[in-house]
Structure 1
Amino acid sequence: MRTRLSLFLLLSLLLFLSSCAVVLSWKKEEFRNCNQTPFCKRARSRKPGSSPFLAADVSISDGDLVAKLVPREPDPDQEDQEPPARPLALTLSAYRDGVMRVKIDEDYPPQESPHKRRFQVPDVIVSEFESKKLWLQRVSTERVGGDEGVSSIVYLSDEYEGVVRHDPFEVYVRERSSGDRVLSMNSHGLFDFEQLREKKEGEDWEERFRSHTDTRPYGPQSISFDVSFYGADFVYGIPERAASLALKPTRGPGIDHSEPYRLFNLDVFEYLHDSPFGLYGAIPFMISHGKARGTSGFFWLNAAEMQIDVLGEGWDADSGISLPSSQKRVDTFWMSEAGIVDAFFFIGPGPKDVVKQYVGVTGNPAMPQLFATAYHQCRWNYRDEEDVENVDAKFDEHDIPYDVLWLDIEHTDGKRYFTWDKVLFPHPEEMQRKLAAKGRHMVTIVDPHIKRDESYHIHKEASKNGYYVKDASGNDFEGWCWPGSSSYIDMLSPEIRSWWADKFSFENYVGSTPSLYIWNDMNEPSVFNGPELTMPRDALHYGGVEHRELHNANGYYFHMATSDGLLKRGNGNDRPFVLSRAFFPGSQRYGAVWTGDNTAEWDQLRVSVPMILTLGLTGLSFSGADVGGFFGNPEPELLVRWYQLGAYYPFFRAHAHQDTKRREPWLFGERNTELMRDAIRTRYMLLPFFYTLFREANVTGVPVVRPLWMEFPFDEATFDKDEAFMVGNSLLVQGIFTERAKHVSVYLPGKESWYDLRTGTAYLGSKTHKLEAPEDHVPAFQRAGTIIPRRDRFRRSTTQTVNDPYTLVIALNSSQTAEGELYIDDGKSFEFKHGAYIHRRFVFKGGKLTSLNMAPATSGNLPFKSECIIERIIILGHAGGPKNALIEPGNLKAQVEFGPLLLQGRSSSGVLTIRKPGIRIADDWTIKVL
């Protein structure tokens, strides 16, 4: 019996290892392309003008425009065209702030009770959005093209109106004054909606890929349509992919064998750069931008697999479709396997307007704790408590600040989450308390796959209560992941999410403390022996929802439940920190994301910039890439360059695979240690600036790091640039992406000058500069006309800086003016929501610097207080030599010097410096430079 058991265990281990082997690198054959994806292949084969619907019975009901999309006569030239089974219901709604919503679903008569309704994604649209609805009062009509076509028009705002064209069916937004279009759906007649129906005798609905079979019990149910962006030069968005910021055409003349951009959350090891292949997250939100019209956006709330074509110029040359020829446009084609049409048109007209409109629907980004915006040190895995203690001590020994130490899966008891390896981590609370005593925090990993072990309390409870996702037969779904045989918590259910959240209490998560935070990995979900390394599409969730219908939102619900768990533990007043690999619209409300399993290559460093910029454009402002690359062993130069660029990522974390060599910053020689320490210190110096930007993102949705065109929307030279980026509106950062680079070209947009962040040297705008590429930094420039707050004293963690003074760096423009902001709160709690914060606006004009209060008056709450002072004011570009400074109130004089700028021990060219003015950051005051 023992021999049989041993043989069984050996075979099981070999099976598990072979299953894991397939995920050790990206293998093209493991994943489907469009031709292997029937709904994508069918949709791409359709001809323009083949849409089988027209609009009828248009009216106003409950403040919305409603209509029936009724079948037209089948096109005799369209082969294998399945006529629609019944009319579709269309609802068009208008909202404040420039948003139009269009919903299309199957129209069921009141007496008909379908055996299945199509899935509509819950819990993404925020309740505040519905309160912005504009109740439409009337619909007007106009004829298009003589007496042949009729359109129904509704009021959206004083500037825009929505139009539903009846035949051929089309929906678009246009400017009221000019009639110019902004966005349109189905202008090329590609709309198709495969309806649920009863299976006919002899039909084979099963789909097969490699060794896997999808039963497809409800048959084909895909949706596709075209969307056009008018006045656009480029389109952006639809993460996640490792490709350029501006989306490249995937179909059209001269484009052969190109794949659509795929949105299907997958566990992809060592992904390729410059690829449209879908990675860990999916946000079906696209932004257009052009010099002619500005910016617009389109969002399709749908969690099924999606494929999107960007159509190259001339793709429709033979279609016979007539569109306004005077308007430049970008055409796109959207395809989804299931769901409904729930589409949002964002009118803009500016880049920040569109982002604000999108987060108005899906929610503003969470405000992180201060520590989370600092530097994180991670590895798969720190071996034991002694290793943790040694790494922590080495940071202090080498005078390198950090705030968070991370533990990967090996810290657990046999990959059982919420547990600790009793040999390697026998005293987890004491370990965390030692870090907390230095103001540092710990993050542990908690994944969605639960080890099927009857002695494991999480598995026992989930199995007993029916909390697992079910297979197509209704049994608990079983797949393979890190623990071996695993099942997956069904997070679609609110009851199950609440149960999961309770597991993070200090009583349930034994060994956790208030300084412990969480990392959600593998939540696409990753299933090593599943189709495409994920869950079968015919698996069943709460309410009978098929996995195909909600796949892309799986990680979103897991992220949500984990974040709620950290909110529920303790006193519930600390902001949670949860990092998630998988994401979906709305994920920004729950924490940070990162770009997954990248590789230690120069090209991967390069592609990290457009990846992070794209995430920011689509709401996920708190994002970053693994510094150094997760896979492989970076050469010291690459690692240093990655730290220098990563210091400007919103989420700044070094991470590495367990098979890589150790790469803490002190392991590459004294000079490289110095360079990495300087990079990390640059981040800590700029934390007041970054924290202020995180607050801006929290209030407006505008991302922390931005494409150049977001700040310079009329500068065409910026529209397709993604090697440089803006941090807020004040800093421009240019990466260095080649080995042994001696020079780097930097385009500085705008008419005003830019000041080198280290030397204060001024460079002209609207010009490309060829600069030296020194080893000690990547080029970074402060924009003329801005003021940046800093803290120049270096501590071992953010907790130590609470009472430190501030420095203001004023970069004057040609008018000798500048302005900027500083936001401060307690760095951890939700009291800021009740007015407990300091928000100052600094304005330099007419030789006078003024500090103005931007925080609203609070009632019933004590305002947040700070005794911190400003110890130095640096003025770049000041006309004239040494001056005097007079401080009001008090009629006090401050010391003024004209000399070098000192930054991290380096002197610069001459600037004006006001030393020790002694003014409090929270007060109103003015400083007059005489």
Structure 2
Amino acid sequence: MTLLSNFVVAALVLSAFALSNCFYMNNLSDRITKLVRSVHAEPNKSIAYERLAIANPTETHNKPSENHPESFKETTNYRDDKCTMAPQSRFDCARDRVLSKRQCEERGCCYAPLPNSVGPPWCFYPSLYPGYKLGPLTPSKRGLAATLTRAKPSYLPRDISTLRLEIIEETTGCLHLILKDPSSQRYEVKLPADVPKSRADNSDVLYTTEYQSDPFGFIVRRKSNGRTIINTTVGPLLFADQYLQLSTTLASSLVSGLGEHYTSLLLDLNWTSLTLWNRHMAPHAHANLYGSHPFYIVQEADGLAHGVFLLNSNAIEVTLQPTPALTWVSTGGILDLYFFLGPDPQSVIRQYLQVIGHPMMPPYWSLGFHLCRWGYTTTNTTRKDVQWNDLDYADKQRIFTFDPRRFGDLPEMVEEFHRRGIKYILILDPGISSTSPTGTYPPFDDGLKRDVFIKNVTGHILIGKVWPGPTAFPDFTNPETRQWWEDCIRGFHSKVPVDGLWIDMNEPANFVQGSMEGCPHTDLEDPPYTPRVVGGELNSGTLCMSAQQRQSTHYNLHNMYGLTEAYATNRALTKVRGKRPFVLSRSSYSGIGRFSGVWTGDVRSDWEQLRFSIPAVLQFSLFGVPLVGADICGFEGNTTEELCVRWMQLGAFYPFMRNHNDNFNAPQEPYVFEQEAQAAMRSALNLRYSLLPFLYTLFHHAHTSADTVARPLFMEFPTDPNCQTIDRQFLWGSSLLISPVLEQGSVKLTAYLPFGIWYNLHNGQPFYSKGQYLLLSAPLDTINVHVREGHIIPQQDPALTTTASRRNPFFLTVALSAGGWAWGDLFWDDGDSLDTYKTQDYCYVIFTAGQSQVVSDPLMLNGALDELVLGGLQVFGVPSPPRYVLANGEKVSDFTYHSDTKVLTVTKLTLPMSKVFTVQWAL
């Protein structure tokens, strides 16, 4: 028992009534209370499911000693023993600055230079580096609590010597652990609105927890197999006023998440640092981009997975190393950690979304093709080309206005669009002009009266500079600001009835550093440690960190600015239009999917950016933002015809599809290209529009069940090792596999097809895959899409607009399994009303195939019934020609069968899907 004498181990099984959004019931059982007390009464007694192994069990230097020192002692034996570790297992002790040998050892750390200047640190923590000591674990309102104390301050300025530990077992698969300063009111993230609550089941928790008492650390294991998920005993816990650090080993090197960065789906663990600090920055490597999502998912062995979420909005740097291990560093707030045990990847995402909220249900029309350009300078140009306007529309680039000369008939143009079944969206930047040539600008004047703008440390409005010149910035954490924003939108909408809003520049971007007057010299502007951010300082390209907002300083709230604006905009559109809101945001933070879609920013028109748009879209899918896409054909630079065709084909399978181009670049609207290219683009667009019923149903499942829409292959095939690393292909739901061309000049591509039968969506040609790569033909007019056996895809005949396509007959694509069965479903409502699922104002139909027939089962029939007419179906995998076909018992004359592909096609049906129907074929 000597190994465990340094540990207090708690492994709790909580009640069925823990809430899914991580609110825990107030009372713990008497048994747990007695268990904890018994540990305190007998400190040498251990309670655990199994013996504790620290870090890598093969590295004995990481195992705790029975007589480890209470504080660091400079002794030869200690250093020889504690500093001998593999280079890849070193944790950096000189993250803040380069240290000499003497300075490193003054910190109580080990100094061992290596031949290369990059890679493992030269100055690193010894094992069991002195830190906090865990006090008694006692029952609390939400679980267990304890006090952590350290006898001596760390080397950090304004070190916090006493911490409170809270341990909350939220659900069977979610553990919540909080480390905070009990003596001060440090900023804690509060997401914009309460997440709906639901009950957890009463099965056993999926994890065990173990706590090292001195120095404090904790381990989370998967209960089913004992695998270590989290082990923080490998590095010290540091907690100072502006520096929080926590290290852990990882269960594998297959890590995804920690966005937003220009990266592959799997992160590089070779001493990589990722900074989470929202920045106006075009996507490129080694840069912090527009959004911050401190969440990662790890693929384990055997198809299992887990995730970790750090609910912290300060500037964060995450260092990944090949141990494999990870270190969190935050510049403020608290350590508010959630651990999601899955056990499969999709369950991990569901558990994460139970904390941050399920994504919104988008309006049906938002899934159509959107066309935009910065540079459509008049309504006449807009009428010809687009459904969107960039800032060109605004009078002197001031939002909530329109230029009286170039856009004087903007209201009439929007009404014309509506009569043609076209929607209209325009841009809003958060920067409010603080000057006006006429002396009045109502949004600013009214905002002044209502005190809605962010202020500097002197209490005056902070003035920055964006497109209109000197600008003030709304504080969306202020309820009065949200009401003012709604009033501004309402007033503008009464003149220009826009259908949705595109919120840009909301990191927030600023063309001067901090403010027009600069920023004060404070620790907020120049903290003891600044993560690796573009520009070198936290206020580069944005506001002063000392700027004052209703909830806290901008230092604490910066990463959430876009989220709070998205919440305010979603709320305003809902109230003003009385319909389902559409919001598209550039800046993002965890939870933004509840209020907005996201696009991936100012991508370049080149093949590399085309290729990296896939992992970008898939990352946002993991972050609970299914409505996402990249600017088709690229935003910056000039596209080529081939690139634009291939991007249009891939973009047809972005959940959000928009062609958007920068000012002064070569035109890239589909109609500017040669006829062959136009035909290829039209084919891709028609394919998307035919699949809109299926895509809309996927969004319904994302909204109600936290499923993913665009899906990495490892989510659906977690036990297939080939799928673990693929990010050049992706799935729509579990049914469609998309394999785009991503290289210039290619007319063939190598694609991986997981085990099973995959049918070519275009012609039904079956591929019987053993889980293998195949060489597929991909001429310029083709994108390879395959339907997975056992699935039924609801489709519609395409039309020029979503309004028109919704009125067309449905048809089903039935992909029979080897056993002759298939399943699919359709969610259908009016596409625009609020809360149709909640009010049950929708239709939901299940389709099943088996025994040579397809049968419908309408489970909910409310609203839009006249649109539900089945016009035909195609069945892939029919083994032989049918002798006849029956529809609801009546013979059908319009059917064909192709013996080479084994496809049965039935047309000219008029079967109401509001009733049970049966289509049979006799072999």
Which range, TM-score by smaller chain? 0.7 to 0.9
Match of 1:90 among 165, 171, 192: 165
- Partners of 1:681 and 1:583 lie apart in 2 by 31
Secondary structure at the counterpart of residue 230 of structure 2: strand
Alignment of 1:119 with 2:184, yes or no, is: no
Alignment of 1:512 with 2:496, yes or no, is: yes
* Aligned 1:467-482 pairs, distance under 5 A: 467-482=452-467
> Which stretches in structure 1 are left out of the alignment for 5+ residues?
1-33, 109-113, 135-154, 196-220, 252-257, 314-329, 393-404, 902-907
1:881 aligns with 881
Q: Cα offset for 1:656? A: 0.4
Q: 1:430 to 1:913 in 2, by over 3 A?
A: same
- Partners of 2:223 and 2:257 lie apart in 1 by 28
2:505 aligns with 522
2:430 aligns with 448
- Preserved CA contact (<8 Å) 2:388 2:424: yes
Q: 1:82 to 1:551 in 2, by over 3 A?
A: closer
Alignment of 1:173 with 2:186, yes or no, is: no
Q: 1:376 to 1:293 in 2, by over 3 A?
A: closer
2:132 aligns with 53
Q: 1:163 to 1:125 in 2, by over 3 A?
A: farther
1:255 aligns with none
AA in 2 matched with 1:194: A
Match of 1:554 among 545, 561, 566: 561
- Preserved CA contact (<8 Å) 2:450 2:480: no
Q: Cα offset for 1:850? A: 1.8
Q: Cα offset for 1:309? A: 1.4
Q: Cα offset for 1:846? A: 1.9
Q: 1:35 to 1:368 in 2, by over 3 A?
A: farther
Q: Cα offset for 1:238? A: 1.3
- Preserved CA contact (<8 Å) 2:686 2:799: no
2:897 aligns with 899
- Preserved CA contact (<8 Å) 1:650 1:704: yes
* Aligned 1:184-199 pairs, distance under 5 A: 184=230, 186-195=232-241
AA in 1 matched with 2:467: W
Q: Cα offset for 1:156? A: 8.7
1:850-872 C-alpha deviation (Å, 9 max, x unpaired): 212344x9xxxx55523531111
- Partners of 2:772 and 2:764 lie apart in 1 by 18
Q: 1:510 to 1:293 in 2, by over 3 A?
A: closer
* Aligned 1:45-444 pairs, distance under 5 A: 47=125, 49-50=128-129, 52-73=131-152, 80=155, 84-108=159-183, 114=184, 117-124=185-192, 126-129=194-197, 132=199, 157-176=204-223, 178-181=225-228, 183-184=229-230, 186-195=232-241, 221-230=242-251, 232-251=252-271, 258=272, 260-269=273-282, 271-272=283-284, 275-292=285-302, 294-313=304-323, 330-391=324-385, 405-444=387-426
Alignment of 1:913 with 2:901, yes or no, is: no
1:753 aligns with 757
- Partners of 1:510 and 1:484 lie apart in 2 by 27
- Partners of 2:733 and 2:846 lie apart in 1 by 15
- Preserved CA contact (<8 Å) 2:584 2:599: yes
Q: 1:922 to 1:877 in 2, by over 3 A?
A: same
Q: Cα offset for 1:716? A: 0.3
- Partners of 1:97 and 1:439 lie apart in 2 by 48
- Preserved CA contact (<8 Å) 2:759 2:766: yes
1:843 aligns with 848
- Preserved CA contact (<8 Å) 1:94 1:133: no
- Partners of 1:651 and 1:439 lie apart in 2 by 19
Q: Cα offset for 1:177? A: 5.2
Give me the TM-score of the superposition, normalised by structure 2: 0.81
2:648 aligns with 643
Q: Cα offset for 1:466? A: 2.5
- Partners of 2:884 and 2:98 lie apart in 1 by 70
1:591-626 C-alpha deviation (Å, 9 max, x unpaired): 210000000000000000000001101111110000
- Preserved CA contact (<8 Å) 1:266 1:533: yes
Match of 2:832 among 822, 828, 833: 828
1:487 aligns with 472
- Partners of 2:368 and 2:832 lie apart in 1 by 13
- Partners of 1:918 and 1:627 lie apart in 2 by 37
| Bigger Cα displacement from structure 2, 417-426 vs 764-773 | 764-773
Q: 1:512 to 1:919 in 2, by over 3 A?
A: same
- Preserved CA contact (<8 Å) 1:169 1:189: no
Q: Cα offset for 1:884? A: 2.1
- Preserved CA contact (<8 Å) 1:46 1:190: no
1:633 aligns with 638
- Preserved CA contact (<8 Å) 2:882 2:921: no
1:538-586 C-alpha deviation (Å, 9 max, x unpaired): 222114x22111111011101111111101114x2x1000100000111
- Preserved CA contact (<8 Å) 1:869 1:918: yes
| Bigger Cα displacement from structure 2, 45-54 vs 613-622 | 45-54
- Partners of 2:865 and 2:818 lie apart in 1 by 36
Secondary structure at the counterpart of residue 135 of structure 2: strand
- Partners of 1:493 and 1:133 lie apart in 2 by 34
- Preserved CA contact (<8 Å) 2:376 2:389: yes
1:617-664 C-alpha deviation (Å, 9 max, x unpaired): 111111000001001111100001000000000000000001212221
1:834-883 C-alpha deviation (Å, 9 max, x unpaired): 1111111111112221212344x9xxxx5552353111110111111133
AA in 2 matched with 1:705: A
AA in 2 matched with 1:717: N
Q: 1:49 to 1:128 in 2, by over 3 A?
A: farther
- Preserved CA contact (<8 Å) 1:628 1:634: yes
1:76-98 C-alpha deviation (Å, 9 max, x unpaired): xx8x4669443101111122251
Secondary structure at the counterpart of residue 601 of structure 2: coil
AA in 2 matched with 1:186: T
AA in 1 matched with 2:920: K
1:24-55 C-alpha deviation (Å, 9 max, x unpaired): xxxxxxxxxx9999499999865254362121
2:590 aligns with 585
Secondary structure at the counterpart of residue 803 of structure 1: coil
- Preserved CA contact (<8 Å) 2:171 2:205: no
- Partners of 1:87 and 1:869 lie apart in 2 by 67
AA in 2 matched with 1:550: L
- Partners of 1:85 and 1:226 lie apart in 2 by 18
Alignment of 1:564 with 2:571, yes or no, is: yes
2:549 aligns with 541
- Partners of 1:429 and 1:724 lie apart in 2 by 42
Q: Cα offset for 1:415? A: 1.3
- Partners of 1:508 and 1:433 lie apart in 2 by 14
Number of residue equivalences: 780
2:734 aligns with 729
- Partners of 1:535 and 1:37 lie apart in 2 by 26
- Partners of 1:928 and 1:493 lie apart in 2 by 61
Q: 1:156 to 1:340 in 2, by over 3 A?
A: farther
Q: 1:293 to 1:649 in 2, by over 3 A?
A: closer
AA in 1 matched with 2:832: K
- Partners of 1:438 and 1:91 lie apart in 2 by 58
Higher relative CO (Cα under 8 Å, sequence separation at least 6) belongs to: 1
- The root-mean-square deviation of aligned C-alpha atoms, in Å, is 2.4
1:171-223 C-alpha deviation (Å, 9 max, x unpaired): 33334454433x3252313321103xxxxxxxxxxxxxxxxxxxxxxxxx121
- Partners of 2:299 and 2:380 lie apart in 1 by 53
Identity among equivalent positions (%) equals 30
AA in 2 matched with 1:58: L
- Partners of 1:293 and 1:738 lie apart in 2 by 31
Q: Cα offset for 1:832? A: 3.2
| Bigger Cα displacement from structure 2, 464-473 vs 474-483 | 464-473
Match of 1:762 among 736, 751, 766: 766
- Partners of 1:796 and 1:804 lie apart in 2 by 11
1:144 aligns with none
- Partners of 1:612 and 1:58 lie apart in 2 by 43
1:502 aligns with 487
2:717 aligns with 712
> Which stretches in structure 2 are left out of the alignment for 5+ residues?
1-91, 108-120, 514-538
